[in-house]
Each structure stands twice: as structure tokens, then as C-alpha cells.
A and B are shown apart, each in its own frame.
Chain A
């Protein structure tokens, strides 16, 4: 920058502005993987079922019962003889009780750090749009966290304690999954350690597995984000939200109906300044007593295993 007509022979000196323009863009973060999960048919089905249950009109939660039908066989019976009645059996009654979850931003942070003229990149050029966009992301993180919390309590397990995830372990698990009567879309969720172990094992298999189109797809898909590939017709994704017990990590293989969620729609009162109703969440502009205005992102939700046999825990060595 030219000094101009300054009354100094030493240039601008301390009056210089070291950095003139500052641009702010949304930072890369690993929770982007959570949003990718939402597009999978199994997750879409969870949300569709959630929605189909309708609003909670005064109830605290919802309950699922699994009715066993279609397992019996007819017995040979002489004409004119009564057949013993078979009672309906309702098993696995499950209750889901949504709880309030919230995340807040202070409006002053926007004035300080994210003034509109400075915004570039992926951020929306408007602070309100940005907070609504963030609300969707925060809700997705919360939803995924609630779902993965249930993985360690899935009864069926694929893999063994303190050992790396292997192709043949999942192969056996898929057969068991089919053997329980499952069909339809399958979502596999593992972390990067599990993914590396699986890929490494796959590459060592040779022949039929190593050269399968799915294996080639997995090798080449650096651009596919969290999606690893489709093996055994199950879509595998990476997640950074999985829990471990210090030795083993718990991922999962899920079919439609394994996990249920329930959101409670809690409309804001008339006096509230509603910034957005995102259906699964709301964003409210609030002024707390004597404080700055804040944005509250709120969602009432819960997750529960609906039918255990429709999923399996993917268990493997954590490191």
C-alpha cells in the first residue's frame, strides 16, 4: 500500500493496517458426516415413521408394540373338530419419551464476528439464514447422537471383542441378519478405524472380493464424503459419533424398523419471536433478563430401539 501524502518519512508505521479485508467461511468439521446419514432410506424411514405417529396431544410419549403374526402353521384337523385358539402375542413394548434439547447462540457474536458484508464462502449472506442453517446441522448432530447411543444395547453382535473388523465377520453377520427375516435397505455405520480395518481386510482377500466393483468403488471414492460404499447391498457410512468402552467401538447395521425416534412439536407462544420453524426444531429469538438477545435452537426428541432383530451391533477393536 502506498504511503500517500503522510507527514512522515517513515511510511505508515503503526498506522498501517496489517490485514485489510477479513473473510469468514464455514470451517470444515467432521459433523458434516452426520448430515450425510440423514439421506439414507433407513434414516428417512425413521423420520417418516416419526412423523406418521402424529403430534403428541398431551401425551408424554409414544409406545410401540410388536405383534407376532404369520408364524403359525395349520394343523391337520378332522371335520367338525374345533381347533385350539392361538392368542395374539404382543412383545417388545417400547416407550419413547421426547425430551427438550437446546443449543443457543448470542446475537452479539454475530455483530462481532460475522458482519454481513464480510461473509463469503458457504455461509449464507444473512445472519438469520445462517442460524437457521446451523439449527438444521445441530439438530442432525443431536438426532444421530441419540441413535448411536443405542448401538451397544443391540442384542445381535457382528464382530468380536478387541479384534479388528473383518470382511468375513460382516459376511457372517449379514447372513444372520437375513436369517432373522430382514429384507430391504440396510445402513452400516462404522468409524474411520473400522473403515480402515474393513478396507485393509478387503484388499487382502484377493480374487472375488478384491476385484469386485464394490471394492473398486470403495478404493476410489475420496469425493463421496462419509459414504464408504455398498457391500453386501448394505450402504456403509463413516461416523465420528460412535461410542466405545475404552477397548471396543460400537457401530451398527440397521434395517428399517430397528430404531424409532419421536419428535414432539412444541409451537412457540404468540409473544415469542420465532425465527424459524424447521419442523423437527424451532429457532427463537429471545432476550433474557437484562441480557443480550440470543437465538435458541430447540428440539424435543427421543430415540429408542423399536425392534432389536432388525439390526446388529458392529463390534470391533477401538484402535
Chain B
């Protein structure tokens, strides 16, 4: 019976080993890991982001719309087969949401322009294999990409890029003059401020960590005196994830 030991490179003609890759350097199971497809979990499919002038939040010091993914998959919301999510989009439009177009807004992810992207400026389709070995597609926002470490597939995020895009979409699509109104600023910041004030009634390092995390989401210019006072009392310095 042939053994792997008999397939040594020194069986090759003299000089050949220096020109080709040693055979034992190749994986016994087939192609090297470098060419193995990424292991991914299949996702529901593409979506259209819908935003509302009145559904807002703060992330890392930026006011962003709370974007709702109107999935294109049939069987979700009012979608019917083949309508590319028109049912769900229509449902949300009736609730005063507007859609973020897949092709119009300028978009930068991981420092590169998304102009001319295959499917959408803000969506990316990743190809990989499922745990069972089937070919799968996973849709993510353009600010998520996958890398591999050993057997692991792990995501990388460009949070700042995504927040900037959503903030600009909010200004372009949901404000008449490209500026947030005082009501919108209140809607975005008030939940965080109320939560910070509620947590401030507790003692201990856990509450302190929560307060620091929440305060870091507020835009610096919209941190009220009440929150400044809490931060001073607890000796918390304002930082955002993107500062770290």
C-alpha cells in the first residue's frame, strides 16, 4: 500500500523541488486552506433600508436613523413572490418611512467608495459554504466584511462609516433643509439621557460602566447638564467606540 511517506519531494528529479512547491506542503485533504471557501451562515437575503424622520438614535456621537430592513424575501410582511420587497416597503411607507435608494447616495465603506457596487451601494453579498458544505450567500451591509483566522470566519465592521452614511441619508431624505430639527434631536437623545439618569440612581461599577457606554453615544454638543453632572460625580470621561 502506498504511504504518504513515499511521495517525498526528493523522489522528484534533481532541481525540480526548487521550481515547484514541495508536495508535503500541500494539504492531504485537497486544496490549501487559502483557497477554501469561507464558511458562512446563509442569511434571509437582501433588503431595502427604510428610515423615518421620527425614529432616531445616537451611535458613537452621531445621530442616526433607526433603519428598518424591509426584507425582500417572500412571506415576510406584505411581500409576495417576485416583488423584491415591494410589499414590505409599501407597508413601511404607509407608516411614513422613506426608502434609502440602493444606487443614489454617496457611500464609503472601509475607506473605499461603493460607487458601481454590484448589487447596492449599501449592501454586499458574500459567498461561502454552510457548515454542511452547501454553497450559500450571506447578505450584509457594506460595512461588514469577513476574514478568516484558522478555522474561524469572523466579521469586521466599519461602524463609523455606516453611521456616517445613515446620518447623511437622514439629512438628505428626512429633513427639508438638511438640518435636524430640535424635535428630532430630542427624539434621538432623550431615551439615552433618561436611561443614564435612571442608571445613576444605582451604585457600583456595573452601573458606572453602563452610564459610560450610553454617554459615549450622545453627540458632545447634545449632552445636557444633568448628564455632565452625573459623569463628573462618577468621574467618567466621555469617549466613543471610534476613539478607542
Contact = CB atoms under 8 A, between A and B. Distances in A.
A162 interface: yes
A117 to B, nearest CB: 24
Interface stretch (A39-47, A74-82, A166-174, A219-227): A166-174
A179 to B, nearest CB: 15
B114 interface: no
Nearest to B209: A164
B143 A246 contact: yes
Contact of B44 (A149, A166, A169): A149
B59 A161 contact: yes
Report whether over half of chain A's contact residues are helix, strand or loop; otherwise say mixed.
mixed
Contact of B78 (A146, A160, A163, A304): A304
Given A99-B74, A168-B195, A246-B143, A157 B66 contact: yes
A303 interface: yes
Given A99-B81, A145-B44, A166-B199, A161 B75 contact: no
Contact of B213 (A99, A163, A172, A301): A163
A150 interface: yes
A105 B241 CA distance: 46
A164 B192 contact: no
A243 interface: yes
B39 to A, nearest CB: 15
B162 interface: yes
A48 interface: no
Interface stretch (A3-11, A90-98, A286-294): A90-98
Closest 7 CB pairs of A and B: A99-B74, A204-B206, A161-B57, A99-B75, A302-B75, A153-B68, A149-B76
Interface of A: 14, 60-61, 94-101, 145-146, 149-150, 152-153, 155, 157, 160-164, 166, 168-169, 172, 200-201, 204-206, 243, 245-247, 301-305, 315, 317
